[in-house]
């Protein structure tokens, strides 16, 4: 348990959370000595026992969360190469699941790049912002934090600084972005920069200044809503759509998508994996009793 404790410290959990997780896992391992080799069904069986106990929904959720962290730790340490329960959730608890029917296809998202604009330099700026949303799945806060030197055209990478929500990472520049970035940097950005030529932020607003907050990016996407009048187009729905596209259409491995999406926990990434028909039937038949 000492190495699990060190893992929790490395992941910056508070002392109270560490103590809670350690206590839960000690009892879990005591009652399940072969837990390190458990599969999905084994953990499902264990959680069915827990859910029949007179415990609150939050307590049951807390136990499952601790168990998930324990298997995160086993994967991190190389003790296992798979996570047996990353997609398991207690009905009515946890984050709201992804509604795949509400997501946008990559073709639909790329169509946002083609909107006509009155001013060429603003169209170039808007195209760059849209491209960062649909090719790198960046948060608005990450877009407005980009500095000019974070975009390395020679190396073909964009450096994204970590923050409270996501980790730092280096992402590949998409092939469709090279010409777009080049035109933006040497044409539109130069024109926008007329008031403050020392500004080193990559994205500038129409006043030639860097965005004070991410609301400006959200407002820009609001102006694109007429493109899909009956659907919920937002920076969040775009990011959700892109991550789901990486996992389900491009079949990029889960661990790789976790890195490029910047998720701290692989369980955050697994929410975007669309279950097959067989898996959906298994969940309906075996998991709903946990509610």
Is residue 127 within 8 Å of residue 180, measured between CB atoms?
yes
Distance of CA 137 to the CA centre of its chain: 8
Residue 109 lies in a domain: yes
Is residue 164 within 8 Å of residue 213, measured between CB atoms?
no
Task: Find the CATH number of the domain harbouring 219.
Answer: 1.10.443.10
Residue 76 lies in a domain: yes
Q: What angle do CA 227, 229, 235 make, to 5 degrees?
A: 70
Tens-digit pLDDT profile for residues 57-115:
788 888 999 999 999 999 988 999 889 888 787 665 445 568 888 899 999 999 999 98
Q: Locate 253 and state its tokens.
A: 């491995």
pLDDT of residue 263: 92
Q: Please tell me whether residues 137 and 153 are part of one structural domain.
A: yes
30 Cβ contact partners less than 8 Å away, ≥ 6 residues apart:
none
Residue 249 lies in a domain: no
pLDDT of residue 109: 96
Residue 250 lies in a domain: no
Residue 263 lies in a domain: no
Q: Please tell me whether residues 226 and 115 are part of one structural domain.
A: yes
pLDDT of residue 33: 93
pLDDT of residue 277: 47
Q: How many domains does the chain have?
A: 2
pLDDT of residue 94: 47
pLDDT of residue 15: 82
Q: Please tell me whether residues 125 and 214 are part of one structural domain.
A: yes
Q: Please tell me whether residues 8 and 85 are part of one structural domain.
A: yes
Is residue 160 within 8 Å of residue 150, measured between CB atoms?
yes
Tens-digit pLDDT profile for residues 212-229:
777 889 889 999 999 998
Q: What are phi and psi of 248, to 5 degrees?
A: -95, -30
Report the distance separating Cα 276 and Cα 291, nearest Å: 22
pLDDT of residue 163: 79
Q: What angle do CA 160, 155, 194 make, to 5 degrees?
A: 65
Q: Please tell me whether residues 205 and 152 are part of one structural domain.
A: yes
Q: What angle do CA 23, 31, 50 make, to 5 degrees?
A: 75
Give the residue numbers spanning the domain of 158: 101-244
Report H helices in the chain. Answer: 2-10, 15-31, 40-51, 57-76, 106-110, 120-135, 140-145, 178-183, 189-192, 215-222, 235-248, 254-261, 266-270, 277-286
51-57 contact pairs (CB < 8 A, 24+): 51/90, 51/289, 51/290, 57/90, 57/92, 57/93
Query: What pTM value is reported for the model?
Result: 0.65
Q: Please tell me whether residues 123 and 205 are part of one structural domain.
A: yes
Residue 207 lies in a domain: yes
pLDDT of residue 111: 95
109 Cβ contact partners less than 8 Å away, ≥ 6 residues apart:
130, 133, 134, 238, 241, 242
Which residue from 274, 268, 289 is spatially nearest to 90, judged by alpha carbons?
289
pLDDT of residue 287: 46
Q: Which helix (H) or strand (E) holds 158?
A: strand 157-160
Residue 25 lies in a domain: yes
Task: Find the CATH number of the domain harbouring 44.
Answer: 1.10.150.130
pLDDT of residue 89: 76
Residue 180 lies in a domain: yes
Report the distance separating Cα 126 and Cα 111, nearest Å: 13
Q: Please tell me whether residues 114 and 26 are part of one structural domain.
A: no
Q: Please tell me whether residues 26 and 84 are part of one structural domain.
A: yes
Report the distance separating Cα 234 and Cα 225, nearest Å: 8
Q: Please tell me whether residues 190 and 205 are part of one structural domain.
A: yes
Q: Please tell me whether residues 67 and 185 are part of one structural domain.
A: no
Q: Please tell me whether residues 63 and 110 are part of one structural domain.
A: no
Report residues of the chain scoring pLDDT below 50. Answer: 93-94, 277-280, 283-284, 287-291
- Look at residue 42 and give its three-state secondary structure: helix
Q: Please tell me whether residues 185 and 280 are part of one structural domain.
A: no
């Amino acid at each position: 348990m000492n190495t699990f404790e060190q893992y929790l410290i490395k992941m910056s959990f508070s002392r109270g959370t560490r103590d809670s997780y350690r206590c839960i896992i000690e009892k879990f391992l005591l009652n399940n000595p072969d837990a390190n080799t458990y599969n999905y069904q084994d953990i499902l069986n264990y959680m069915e026992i827990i859910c029949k106990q007179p415990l609150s929904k939050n307590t049951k959720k807390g136990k499952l969360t601790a168990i998930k962290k324990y298997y995160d730790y086993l994967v991190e340490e190389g003790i296992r190469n798979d996570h047996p329960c990353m997609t398991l959730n207690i009905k009515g608890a946890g984050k709201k699941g992804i509604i795949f029917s509400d997501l946008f296809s990559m073709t639909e998202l790329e169509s946002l790049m083609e909107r006509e604009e009155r001013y060429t330099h603003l169209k170039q700026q808007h195209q760059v912002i849209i491209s960062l949303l649909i090719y790198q799945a960046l948060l608005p806060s990450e877009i407005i934090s980009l500095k000019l030197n974070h975009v390395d055209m020679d190396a073909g990478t964009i450096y994204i600084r970590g923050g409270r929500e996501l980790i730092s990472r280096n992402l590949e520049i998409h092939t469709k972005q090279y010409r777009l970035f080049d035109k933006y940097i040497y044409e539109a950005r130069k024109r926008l920069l007329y008031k403050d030529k020392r500004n080193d932020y990559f994205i500038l607003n129409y006043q030639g200044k860097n965005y004070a907050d991410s609301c400006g990016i959200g407002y820009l996407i609001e102006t694109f809503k007429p493109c899909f009048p009956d659907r919920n187009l937002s920076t969040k729905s775009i990011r959700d759509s892109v991550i789901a596209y990486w996992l389900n259409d491009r079949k990029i491995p889960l661990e790789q998508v976790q890195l490029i999406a910047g998720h701290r926990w692989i369980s955050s990434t697994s929410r975007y994996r669309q279950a097959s028909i067989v898996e959906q039937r298994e969940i309906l038949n075996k998991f709903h009793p946990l509610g």
